[in-house]
Structure 1
Amino acid sequence: MSFTTPPRPLDVTALFPELAPLARKATRLHPRPGSPTMRDSSVGGPLLWPADEPWPHCDGDHVWDKWTPALSAEDIRQSRRPQAAAEERHGRPQPEGPIPMLPVAQLYGRDVPLPAPPGADLLQVLWCPFDHPTHPRTALFWRSAAEVTDVLAAPPEPSAVQLVTYLPEPCVLAPEQVTEYPHPMELSQDLQRQLAEVSRWEAAGPAWNSAYAIAPHEFYRNELAYASGWKVGGWSTWGLTDPVPRPCPECGTEALPLLTIASTEWDGGSESWAPQEEHTNPTPLPPGYPTANFTMIDIASGYNLQLHACPASPDHPQVELIQ
């Protein structure tokens, strides 16, 4: 399986040379439903977890909404299979004690460039299936895959999941590198003014979409700046808020984008980032699911959960950001 991001409408650095030194590589993950193993990079798949290492649990306070009956992970999986719909069990008692975390992503360095600490080549991301306070709390683990020789065969699962969209559908990945540039609000005032000048864009000829003449910076943001969907690295996306500092909680160094956990691979404003293969052979989705919601995850009603890592030390706590 491979996916190809369509070429961008134009070379933005030819129009705005000041953007060239700001270019960053991002790796689009392109998750699609499949049957990954613990030896594969995946979203929502089994983890290569050492048998002698405790499985992470969340021992925080969990708000129990009695009006939204929670289901077990297996109930949710069965409900996604039309031939074996699970019976919803209303009135499930609130789980007591620490709650086992759910696997969200497993990334091998052989598949995805990672800012791993020395000796590590595997990143594992899990989260609590309850909000803290507005999105699941995440946990990151770096390890050497070669050192995991005795694997945990049956990881624990939470007895209940707050929302069905907090349980990722197992997905295989098709990593692809692309080039990204900063969100307009992260650029200098001078460069923002240049992006707003329609005449600069008109110099690109037919590659310029004149429908953006009222707001040229939107053309830059939607079509040229950064890819949509699940990805590693690149630039932070903004929209829910203006850019804010993301200092490392431990040392204060500005944290950099590590992993974007996306609700959808693209939407109405980012359709140009849909892979070419999806136009000719669309990936099927169950009825009722949003377009391009292949992982069946939904963060805060359609937003992304971005994890930022400290460049001084990947072992420092991650910074979580909803955008």
Structure 2
Amino acid sequence: MTPEEEAIKERNAARLTERLDADPPPADCPVPMLPVAQLYLRDIPLLQPPGQADLLQVLWCPYDHDPHHKPATALFWRSAAEVVDILATPPEPYEVNDDGYLPEPCVLAPEAITEYPNSLDLSPQMLLMVQDWSRWQAAGADVDSSEHADCPRDFYDVHLADAPGWKVGGWPPWGRTDPNPRYCTVCDVQMVPLLTIASYEWDGGEGRSWAPHEEQAAAYAANTTGHCCGQDPSQPTKVEVGSTDNMQIYVCPASPGHPHTDLIQ
């Protein structure tokens, strides 16, 4: 174990000891919600906030809530200019259901990408085209025929469809279920994805191709040299939802004031 990893281990152990030695909170003690994401319109024009808002704050309760045993989320649209009373030390919960519900503070570097629908979202005609290897050849696609000629759909889903990782908007990462549209409980309009809270930015297999260009070396090195100082380059937030799944938050496109919903995939 490196000196850096030893220091991290000792710090975490000391923090745990401090928590265990503390008196338990009263049964009716309120649980503070934890900040999960803070997104500015200036960085992410795709946000489409209501009114004069230019800031989205996403919080969640670090406990599993029924009926689907996941953190309960809350959305706050605000004007950044009006946020003046900032806590130097945000409140922390006494405990959490899972370590993956306690986000590691990170600075975001948003970038726009192009992705395509999951193959489960394609029409039957489009799916046939994706599965036709001759079309990939005719298009001159740089695809390894020895690996993907028998099932080009796999290549499509891994390298082109529903980009993994945290993202605003985009296509749903189906997998746990078939496509499952969400509808607003107020106006019955089909809801749209707002934010994906991902357990990993990319997987350890071929999905590493989604790693940002400047992190490609770290993405491929992680499989051979291990993680640096206990930090997985594909999991900077250390958030884990479900069984290393994604939580996708949906909102009503007709009115941001209507209740949002979420889905684990």
TM-score of the pair, normalised by structure 2: 0.83
1:96 deviation in Å?
2.4
Alignment of 1:275-290 (within 5 A): 275-280=212-217, 285-287=228-230, 290=232
Q: Any unmatched runs of 5+ in structure 1?
A: 1-78
For the residue of structure 2 that corresponds to 1:219, the secondary structure is helix
1:187 deviation in Å?
1.4
Identify the structure with the greater strand proportion: 1
What is the identity percentage for the equivalent residue pairs of Structure 1 and Structure 2? Answer: 53
**Number of aligned residue pairs:** 244
1:94 deviation in Å?
7.4
Pair 188,94 (structure 1): closer, same or farther in 2 beyond 3 Å: farther
CA distance in 1, matches of 2:86, 2:236: 28
CA distance in 1, matches of 2:163, 2:155: 13
Residue in 1 aligned with 2:207? 270
CA distance in 2, matches of 1:125, 1:220: 31
Residue in 2 aligned with 1:232? 168
Deviations 1:58-95 (A, max 9, x none): xxxxxxxxxxxxxxxxxxxxx98334232442998576
1:239 deviation in Å?
0.8
Letter aligned with residue 43 of structure 2: D
Kept in 2, the 8 Å contact 1:95–1:159? The answer is: no
**Candidates 130, 145, 150, aligned match of 2:80:** 145
1:157 deviation in Å?
2.5
1:218 deviation in Å?
1.5
Alignment of 1:192-231 (within 5 A): 192-205=127-140, 207-210=142-145, 211-231=147-167
Kept in 1, the 8 Å contact 2:208–2:216? The answer is: no
CA distance in 2, matches of 1:96, 1:318: 29
Kept in 2, the 8 Å contact 1:111–1:175? The answer is: yes
Kept in 1, the 8 Å contact 2:218–2:233? The answer is: no
For the residue of structure 1 that corresponds to 2:113, the secondary structure is strand
Alignment of 1:33-112 (within 5 A): 81-84=8-11, 85-86=13-14, 87-88=16-17, 89=20, 93=24, 96-97=27-28, 98-112=30-44
Moved more, 130-139 or 166-175: 130-139
1:246 deviation in Å?
0.7
1:208 deviation in Å?
2.4
Q: Any unmatched runs of 5+ in structure 2?
A: 1-5
Kept in 2, the 8 Å contact 1:95–1:160? The answer is: no
Deviations 1:238-259 (A, max 9, x none): 1111001111122211111111
Kept in 1, the 8 Å contact 2:170–2:193? The answer is: yes
TM-score of the pair, normalised by structure 1: 0.69
**Candidates 105, 111, 133, aligned match of 1:176:** 111
Letter aligned with residue 78 of structure 2: R
CA distance in 2, matches of 1:219, 1:145: 42
1:152 deviation in Å?
4.3
Higher RCO (CA < 8 A, seq sep 6+): 1
Deviations 1:257-299 (A, max 9, x none): 1111110110024111011111346696433x55511111111
